[in-house]
Amino acid sequence: MKNKYLLLLKMQLYNFFGINRILHSHSKKEKQRGAAFGVLAAVVIGLMVAYSTAISIGLADMGATNILPTISVLICSLVTLILTFLKSSGVLIGLRDYDMVMSLPVKNSEVVLSRLTLVYLTNLLICIIVALPPAVIFMINAETGTFGSVIFLLSLIFLPVIPMIISLGIGVLITAISVRSRHKNILSLVLSTLVVLLIVAVSTQAQNMESDEILNAGIALSNMANRIYPPAAFISKAVESQDFLCFLAFVGISALTYGFFVGIAAHFYQKMNTATFSHSFAKYEGKPLKVSSPFKAMYKREFDRYFSCTVYALNSTIGMVLLFVVSLLLLFASPEIIEQQSGIAGLNQMLRRVLPFVIAVFITMTSTASASLSLEGKSRWLMCSVPVRAIDIFHSKMAVNLTVICPFALVSAILLGIKMKVSLMQDVFLCIIPCVYACFISVLGMYMNVKFPKYDWTSEYYAVKGGAISVLATMGVGMLSSLIPLFFCVAFQNYRNLIMSVASIMLLAISFTLYGKLRRYQLYEV
């Protein structure tokens, strides 16, 4: 079993990071893509380490070194919950290589274990990036001794296990509930969105705490953990009291949880995938055939594709859903109360001045086009065979992105404009800037996916998130394009109208330039 499991895991790792393509490809373009992804990953890791280090040093300076283990456990658990849940539908169920893998002489447990190990390793890497700086700061400043610090470091290895299993369990449960529904993908999307909103609400509440509240919350959470989440209590006691037995208890609970889930998932693995692939509510009805324009037909196909993939829809919609939810919540909250809770003097006035760019930040998180070409996968030959221009296909993909963004953005802009009581000029920018950013992120996402397509995926998750350079690059460039002018508007408030005008003109110019490049592409070149 060991050799087969390792071979399956190796295959998963090679596919996830694209190692085979980088090592064995003779294409210079392929190697450049791998180098670009490596640089981007290094920048993101560096920013995460810097942010985590700054927070840890700040807590240590406030005399809150003793709560660093608790805070690290909470942050790592939260990050693992969110990231694992977002990709839960593409880990065990609905994989494109399911038939190929199941034809191999391997057991269900080996397949499940290899897939879960890959998820664990990715979560472990993130947890180490997030929690290693607090662990080092704790080791330097704490009075628990070297042994307690070593226990804290060792506990990082097992931190992702239980949150990961909880997220995967919820994801599998949602799939099981929705698979027998006629509108199973929409139902799965709604349930997944509700869970993400719940997690975001909890994390936002935690971030709004002041330093004294964090200290009190750390004590309260430690007491609560004894009843609700024993593993966290075991870690705290093991570190504070240098109790190796508590550490072993935490390791044992994590290992048993992991083994139990592997056993259950392996037992029902084939049944879950069979239900996903074969269950259908299609009912043929003799109706007259309708004729439509090429654009309308391709747009309808893209829209159907959008809702057929839960991870695709969730990943590209959550930004606009969050914007809409925030807009609704602000209707029932007094700006004075929000300013008082945040502790930032003049926050209400500041938000009023930069409101268009606040909306733009959420818009730049939304790009269906950045993965739409990659999701064609092995069926991309269909695009090359239809009697239409490549730009017409690109139009349909960008139109879906605009359809997702515009309704949420415009309604949210109206609600926020009414609540914040903006001036006439601010109202104009509140309409123009979201539209400009919607066009920009749609064209940018399409251009990035044309430049960095990923067709050789085994799960739609890998085309949408895992190792997808086009998605990461689009989100990174898009976020910078909104955060930089937002920062300048805050720093130079007297010139904010000029900054908004210049940013809009520049983004429109970039959008037209990228669109011109897209018109010259042929699909067989992509």
* Highest-scoring range by mean pLDDT, 53-62, 245-254, 377-386, 402-411: 402-411
- Residue scoring higher pLDDT (360 or 351): 360
Would you say 275 and 177 are in contact if contact means Cβ atoms under 8 Å apart? no
User: What is the model's pLDDT at position 204?
Assistant: 52
* 234 and 325 part of one domain: no
User: What is the model's pLDDT at position 207?
Assistant: 47
Would you say 448 and 518 are in contact if contact means Cβ atoms under 8 Å apart? no
* 252 and 304 part of one domain: no
Residue 189 belongs to some domain of the structure? yes
Rounded Cα distance between 458 and 436, Å, is: 35
- What would the two tokens of residue 495 be? 């010139």
pLDDT, one tens digit per residue, over 87-142 is: 665 667 666 666 677 777 878 778 888 888 888 888 888 888 877 887 778 777 76
* 345 and 408 part of one domain: yes
Where is the domain boundary, 225, 249, 278?
278
* 84 and 195 part of one domain: yes
pTM above 0.75, yes or no: no
Would you say 65 and 142 are in contact if contact means Cβ atoms under 8 Å apart? yes
Residue 422 belongs to some domain of the structure? yes
Residue 285 belongs to some domain of the structure? no
User: What is the model's pLDDT at position 187?
Assistant: 54
- Residue scoring higher pLDDT (334 or 414): 414
User: What is the model's pLDDT at position 510?
Assistant: 94
User: What is the model's pLDDT at position 436?
Assistant: 93
User: What is the model's pLDDT at position 281?
Assistant: 47
pLDDT above 70: residue 6: yes
Would you say 311 and 86 are in contact if contact means Cβ atoms under 8 Å apart? yes
Where is the domain boundary, 253, 278, 303?
278
In this predicted structure, which of 220-229, 430-439, 472-481 has the lowest mean pLDDT?
220-229
Residue 116 belongs to some domain of the structure? yes
Would you say 208 and 342 are in contact if contact means Cβ atoms under 8 Å apart? yes
Domain extent for 477: 294-525
Would you say 442 and 398 are in contact if contact means Cβ atoms under 8 Å apart? yes
Q: Identity (one letter) of the amino acid at 375?
A: L
User: What is the model's pLDDT at position 209?
Assistant: 46
Residue 136 belongs to some domain of the structure? yes
User: What is the model's pLDDT at position 438?
Assistant: 92
* 229 and 319 part of one domain: no
* Highest-scoring range by mean pLDDT, 186-190, 235-239, 379-383, 470-474: 470-474
pLDDT above 60: residue 146: yes
* Highest-scoring range by mean pLDDT, 72-81, 240-249, 505-514: 505-514
- Residue scoring higher pLDDT (464 or 357): 357
Helix, strand, coil shares of the chain, percent, nearest 5, are: 80, 0, 20
Residue 497 belongs to some domain of the structure? yes
CA distances from 448 to 227, 476, 500, 511 (A): 49, 11, 25, 12
In this predicted structure, which of 64-68, 164-168, 428-432 has the lowest mean pLDDT?
64-68
Candidates 214, 177, 203; CA nearest to 192 is 177
Residue 92 gets which letter from DSSP?
S
pLDDT above 80: residue 442: yes
User: What is the model's pLDDT at position 454?
Assistant: 77
Residue 41 belongs to some domain of the structure? yes
What residue has token string 């009805």?
285
* 66 and 95 part of one domain: yes
Handedness of CA 445, 446, 447, 453 (dihedral sign): positive
Average pLDDT value for residue range 306-313 = 72
Please give the radius of gyration of the chain, using alpha carbons only, rounded to the nearest integer: 25
In this predicted structure, which of 172-186, 265-279, 501-515 has the lowest mean pLDDT?
172-186
Long-range residue pairs from 4-8, CB within 8 A, at least 24 positions apart, any chain? 4/105, 4/106, 4/107, 4/110, 5/110, 5/113, 5/114, 8/101, 8/106, 8/110, 8/111, 8/114
Look at the chain and report how many structural domains it folds into: 2
Rounded Cα distance between 319 and 363, Å, is: 7
What percent of the chain shows pLDDT beyond 70? 68
Where is the domain boundary, 215, 249, 278?
278
- What would the two tokens of residue 109 be? 């447990």
Work out the pLDDT band at 443, boundaries 50, 70, 90: very high
User: What is the model's pLDDT at position 22?
Assistant: 63
What percent of the chain shows pLDDT beyond 90? 6
Average pLDDT value for residue range 376-388 = 77
* 205 and 336 part of one domain: no
* 353 and 436 part of one domain: yes
* 150 and 42 part of one domain: yes
* 198 and 87 part of one domain: yes
User: What is the model's pLDDT at position 497?
Assistant: 86
Displacement of CA 146 from its chain's centroid (Å): 37
Residue 284 belongs to some domain of the structure? no
User: What is the model's pLDDT at position 131?
Assistant: 79
Work out the pLDDT band at 210, boundaries 50, 70, 90: very low
Work out the pLDDT band at 17, boundaries 50, 70, 90: low
Average pLDDT value for residue range 466-489 = 82
* 50 and 159 part of one domain: yes
* 151 and 271 part of one domain: yes
pLDDT, one tens digit per residue, over 281-291 is: 455 455 666 66
- Residue scoring higher pLDDT (172 or 515): 515
